[in-house]
């Protein structure tokens, strides 16, 4: 299942990049949107990248980040990029699928038995993914695997029947959750991402899906008591520019942007990989309990996930794509 905020990196210490804040006005400012809230680790990452980019280009190029979803949910952000009102964005898998729908195959539940299978498939098919974005008018600045979502709830959810009795959030941007709810008989409550916290506080919804770090950053974790034992799917995240914005940059500027992103990714990848475990431990300290399933309960979810995969795969441009993704992962 997709996730509202599978963030690109876990942490970025600006001092580690020897950043210079700079005061000169950038000659080319790229307007970028993200759902990451102000003050969160992802926003600190983006801000630090921006300072490094300004330093390396003598303030010739800069990012202007609009955080916290103030530019709208990811479907609206993608529309704004297409119309030229934004230059680019950091997108979750859900937003990426708004651009190139075959991304959905990587976030369907139980496509891969192991995280290693996800990485193998992602690595093998990444050139095709990037080509698909280019054909759709977008340039990929960064694309990487990300933490899959878990189910968080105010009461234990062990079976599809438990989910049917709940009031789960449905992200209108997400094409997978409606199929999950249809397969279980649940009725999702459609809400934009900024509305979810208030809905949890008033108990309008009692179940949400998010990576653990996102549940903390968005303050949802303070409103729930339980989380699923493990993610049921993989995910990915990316930074994109419109082709128009990318072509407005010189080759040297594009190369510098790529170098800044690659440097940050290389330095902080270990922290990114630790982030999920750190978030889970923090949630457990706060009293959020993982719900272990019995084997019969797992089998019932397995049957539900198979129905979800079948229904979503039928909506992809190439019905054989899901099988290719699974084969590339050795599944």
Domain boundaries of the chain, sorted by first residue: 14-146+233-280, 150-232+286-328
The two beta strands, 88-91 and 28-33, are parallel
pLDDT at 8 over 50: no
> Which CATH number describes the domain made up of 150-232+286-328?
3.40.190.170
pLDDT at 16 over 90: no
pLDDT, mean of residues 101-114: 93
Write the class of the CATH domain 14-146+233-280: alpha beta
Secondary structure, 3-state, the chain: CCCCCCCCCCCCCHHHHCCCCCCCCCCEEEEEECCCCCCCHHHHHHHHHHHHHHHHCCCCEEEEEECCCCCCCHHHHHHHHHHCCCCEEEECHHHHHHHCHHHHHHHCCCCCCCHHHHHHHHHHHHHHHHHHHHHCCEEEEEEEEECCCEEEECCCCCCHHHHHCCCEEECCCCCCHHHHHHHHCCCCEECCHHHHHHHHHCCCCCEEEECHHHHHHCCCHHHCCEEECCCCCCEEEEEEEEHHHHHCCCHHHHHHHHHHHHHHHHHHHHHHHHHHHHHHHHHHHCCCEEECCCHHHHHHHHHHHHHHHHHHHCCCCCCCHHHHHHHHCCC
pLDDT, mean of residues 77-103: 96
CA distance linking residue 40 with residue 44, whole number of Å: 6
Are 14-146+233-280 and 150-232+286-328 equal in CATH topology? yes
CA distance linking residue 38 with residue 83, whole number of Å: 25
Question: What pLDDT does 26 receive?
Answer: 62
pLDDT, mean of residues 37-45: 85
290-313: string of b/e by CB count within 10 Å (b at 16+)?
ebebeeeeeebbeebbeebbebbb
Residue 308 phi, psi dihedral angles, 5° rounding: -65, -45
Q: Which residue has the higher pLDDT, 209 or 234?
A: 209
Question: What pLDDT does 2 receive?
Answer: 46
pLDDT, mean of residues 251-278: 85
pLDDT, mean of residues 173-194: 95
pLDDT at 5 over 80: no
pLDDT at 213 over 60: yes
CA distance linking residue 110 with residue 93, whole number of Å: 16
Tokens found for residue 305: 């996930």
Supply the pTM of this predicted model. Answer: 0.86
Tokens found for residue 258: 């790529």
The two beta strands, 28-33 and 61-66, are parallel
| C-alpha count within 13 angstroms, C-beta hemisphere, residue 90 | 26
Q: Which residue has the higher pLDDT, 94 or 275?
A: 94
pLDDT at 207 over 70: yes
Q: Sign (positive/negative) of CA torsion 177, 297, 156, 273?
A: negative
Point out the least confidently predicted range of 31-45, 102-116, 264-278, 313-327: 264-278
pLDDT, mean of residues 295-314: 96
pLDDT at 12 over 60: no
pLDDT at 284 over 70: yes
pLDDT at 20 over 60: no
């Amino acid at each position: 299942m997709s996730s509202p905020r599978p963030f690109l990196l876990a942490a970025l210490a600006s001092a580690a990049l020897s950043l210079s804040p700079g005061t000169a006005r950038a000659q080319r400012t790229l307007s970028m949107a993200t759902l990451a809230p102000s003050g969160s680790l992802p926003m600190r990452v983006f801000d630090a990248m921006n300072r490094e980019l300004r330093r390396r280009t003598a303030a010739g190029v800069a990012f202007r980040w609009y955080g916290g979803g103030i530019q709208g949910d990811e479907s609206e952000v993608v529309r704004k990029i297409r119309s030229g009102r934004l230059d680019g964005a950091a997108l979750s898998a859900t937003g990426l699928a708004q651009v190139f729908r075959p991304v959905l195959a990587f976030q369907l539940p139980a496509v891969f038995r192991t995280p290693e299978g996800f990485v193998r498939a992602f690595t093998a098919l990444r050139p095709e993914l990037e080509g698909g974005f280019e054909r759709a008018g977008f340039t990929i600045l960064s694309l990487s695997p990300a933490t899959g979502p878990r189910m968080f709830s105010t009461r234990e959810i062990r079976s599809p029947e438990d989910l049917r009795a709940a009031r789960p959030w449905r992200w209108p941007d997400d094409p997978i959750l409606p199929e999950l709810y249809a397969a279980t008989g649940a009725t999702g409550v459609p809400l934009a991402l900024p509305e979810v916290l208030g809905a949890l506080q008033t108990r309008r919804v009692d179940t949400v899906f998010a990576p653990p770090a996102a549940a903390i950053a968005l303050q949802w974790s303070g409103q729930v008591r339980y989380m699923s034992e493990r993610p049921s799917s993989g995910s990915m995240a990316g930074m994109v520019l419109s082709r128009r914005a990318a072509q407005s940059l010189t080759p040297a500027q594009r190369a510098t942007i790529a170098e800044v992103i690659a440097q940050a990714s290389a330095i902080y990848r270990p922290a990114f990989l630790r982030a999920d475990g750190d978030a889970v431990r923090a949630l457990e300290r706060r009293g959020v309990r993982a719900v272990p399933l019995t084997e019969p309960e797992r089998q019932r979810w397995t049957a539900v996930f198979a129905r979800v995969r079948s229904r979503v795969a039928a909506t992809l441009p190439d019905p054989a794509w899901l099988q290719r993704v699974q084969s590339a992962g050795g599944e």
